[in-house]
Amino acid sequence: MHKRISMVITLGMGLVWPFAVMAQAVSDEDELALVFSEKATISLATGSQQVLRRAPSVVTVITADDIAAMGATDLDEVLETVPGMHVSRTAGYISSYLIRGISGGQTNPQVLLLQNGVPMYQLYRGDRGGTGRGLPVAHIARIEVIRGPGSALYGADAFGGVINVITKTAADMPGTEVGMLAGSFDTWGVWAQHGGKWGALDVATTLNVGSTAGFRSIVDADAQSARDTRFGTQASLAPGPVNTGYDAVDLGLDMSYAKWHMRAFYKQRSDVGIGAGINDSLDPQGRVRGEHIAASLAWHDPAFAERWSVGYVASFTHDTINMETPLLLSPPGSRFSATSVFPDGLLGSPSRKERQLRLSAYASYTGLPDQQVRIGVGHDDLHLYETTTRNNFRLDEFGIPQPTTYMDYQTIQPHILPQRRRLNYLYVQDEWNFARNWVLTAGARYDRFSDVGGTLNPRLALVWDVAHDLTAKLMWGRAFRAPAFIELYGINPVANGNATLKPETIRMQEAALSWQARGDLQVNLNLFRYVMNDVIHTVPNLAAGTGSIFQNAGSKHGRGMELETVWESSRALRISGHYAYQKSIDEATGQDAGYAPHHHLYGRADWRVAAGWRLSGQINHVADRHRAPGDLRPQIADYTTFDLTLRTDRGPHGWNFSASVRNLFNADVREPSLAPGTAIPNDLPMAPRALYLQASHAL
């Protein structure tokens, strides 16, 4: 095993650092001009299209071709390949996107996930919730990722980074294409997409239907195991499998005409298992159903007036979370005290409905010498408008559940009441080309919340084209995270909400170099450091004398680096990879903040083995994950996975096939359970080796 790990690391280093070739002569300037093509652009950094290397942020762009090459079947598999990002899991197996070691504990509101510019989070916890499982990658045109603060443009939750998933338009998929997927864990899926003209309209439609039983990796012990030891019971269902299955339906409609663009999406996840249990106790019976509806209408006129371009966007999202079957918070026979015994188990069925209306307008002005000024205003109306709570228990004054009849407790002891948040904001950004090869981008955004007050978040970025093959960047920014509704208004003596919470804040400094070492070799180096303040934790509720309460009770600081490279070895072989390092410290204890890997190594090789055939292999090595302060368990075990994908590449017409093996050597992959580790002591097991077959046909 140790020899295999050594071979893995050696291979990974070879993929990530092919620097021996740098000693060769640099290609001529014409070849460099081809590499610096305007096709390598991003709009997420400033709101307008820019050449990737000159964007005033540390950015990554992943195309549909990249997604196909890596054999990904889900968005999470794609995001794990982004430098400085690791995809972890909560106990409910909801994805947690850790960028540069910035962790949110049980939820992940520190990263803003957008779909075509519209936020994809739920107000209750600030995460992706019950509809967060799976996003069909066949309908994705590209993914743009900013690492670092983005609140100067995007406001709340653009804290550690911003991810924008851009779906295909009619231009991306002319004609009709159908596809199918089958694989391990009883996974299957079928999809279809069509793009074309309908009169004067450009129209694209997408459909995806699928299901998976989910991997059923074994949890050795859970929270009930500890209670069994304490009370002498034998109720725990551990050892037992996690519950990660779900059924999926996705519908999409994209229409554009002249200056107008309308998008609408429907996403349903039903029969959703809840991983290792919502209460850290295995639950084979609980099932969640989530529905997400999103619609947006945008208008943009690039020549509204001389030197003016203007536009606006209106979007609406609606989320529903229902329990298809009651959650088994603790199994039959559970005991919590001498009088608190549950022969049928501890049952709960919380449900919610929420809607989000967002209106924004912007204008860009280029009438000043060598400058482009962008201003924007917006209003958000965020409403958790319906909640229900059904239990077979009530919590006493000490937070201990006492048995009752299974009934509606919304008017007696709700988990949360309906809440509404209104937000108004204004931002200004100036891109100033003040000297040849120098661009200064300065911006600030002011957000005013109806419940947590106002916050101002500035950002500065200096970009210098040192030479035709070298670009340097210096960046500084401040960002914030608004408290989630459960943190402000949750009603639970175990972890009570606190309406006096302030937003979390972060300040980050970054330096970046982008070097075209040769015509076929690109190298990027990014350095960063940050300070987080007013971090929201649960602390003992001294006023109540029992339980916990959310509080702005922490500060953290961190630093790190990301080294990336892409080597076009030949027309048949492309090698890419990255190494990321980070260290985050909890300032109250002086100890590591925990959860995120200190070292993350990724490498990928894409090889055209024959005409019409491609073989891709990737390695992912995650290492040195510390426990959070107060957690006395040993460090989380390192792991290394290999993936292989063989696919045809026969152009835009006819059949194409692919076969992928993920985690080829069946590594024992585990993601950290929360401190202090008394609930799930041996962490959260992830998927073993899996095989997937895909076929698609363009008509």
pLDDT tens, position by position, 547-570: 788 999 889 999 999 999 999 999
Region 611-623: mean pLDDT is: 95
Q: What's residue 33's pLDDT?
A: 34
Q: What's residue 493's pLDDT?
A: 66
Q: By CB neighbour count within 10 A (0-12 exposed, 13-18 middle, 19+ buried), where does 303 fall?
A: exposed
Query: Hey, what domains does the chain have and what are their CATH numbers?
Result: 2-698 (2.40.170.20)
Q: What's residue 683's pLDDT?
A: 94
Tokens 């985690």 label which residue? 663
Please check the confidence at residue 369 and state whether its pLDDT lies above 70.
yes
Region 444-467: mean pLDDT is: 95
Peptide bond into 676 cis (omega under 30): yes
Please check the confidence at residue 141 and state whether its pLDDT lies above 80.
yes
What's the pLDDT band for 545 if we cut at 50, 70, 90?
A: low
- The structure tokens listed for 667 are 């590594």
Q: Left, alpha or beta for 651 (phi > 0: left; psi -120 to 50: alpha)? A: left
- The structure tokens listed for 672 are 């950290």
162-218 per-position pLDDT tens digit: 999 999 999 998 899 999 999 999 999 999 999 999 999 999 999 999 999 999 999
Q: By CB neighbour count within 10 A (0-12 exposed, 13-18 middle, 19+ buried), where does 214 fall?
A: buried
Q: Find out whether 277 and 91 touch, Cβ atoms under 8 Å.
A: yes
Lowest mean pLDDT among 123-137, 162-176, 507-521, 678-692: 123-137
* Nearest of 18, 36, 15 to residue 519 by alpha carbon: 36
Please check the confidence at residue 134 and state whether its pLDDT lies above 90.
no
300-327 per-position pLDDT tens digit: 999 999 999 999 999 999 999 999 999 9
Q: What's residue 54's pLDDT?
A: 80
CA distance 325 to 465: 59
Q: Find out whether 451 and 421 touch, Cβ atoms under 8 Å.
A: yes
Please check the confidence at residue 345 and state whether its pLDDT lies above 70.
yes
Q: What's residue 671's pLDDT?
A: 94
- The structure tokens listed for 185 are 């864990």
Please check the confidence at residue 2 and state whether its pLDDT lies above 90.
no
Region 647-674: mean pLDDT is: 91
Q: What's residue 127's pLDDT?
A: 79
Please check the confidence at residue 698 and state whether its pLDDT lies above 70.
yes
- The structure tokens listed for 688 are 């073993």
Tokens 């106990």 label which residue? 91
Q: What's residue 304's pLDDT?
A: 94
Q: What is the mean pLDDT of the chain?
A: 88
Q: Find out whether 461 and 437 touch, Cβ atoms under 8 Å.
A: no
Q: What's residue 48's pLDDT?
A: 63
22-58 per-position pLDDT tens digit: 333 333 333 333 333 334 666 665 566 667 778 888 9
Q: By CB neighbour count within 10 A (0-12 exposed, 13-18 middle, 19+ buried), where does 434 fall?
A: exposed
245-298 per-position pLDDT tens digit: 999 999 999 999 999 999 999 999 999 999 999 889 999 999 999 999 999 999
Please check the confidence at residue 74 and state whether its pLDDT lies above 50.
yes
Q: Find out whether 288 and 348 touch, Cβ atoms under 8 Å.
A: no
- The structure tokens listed for 620 are 């992912």
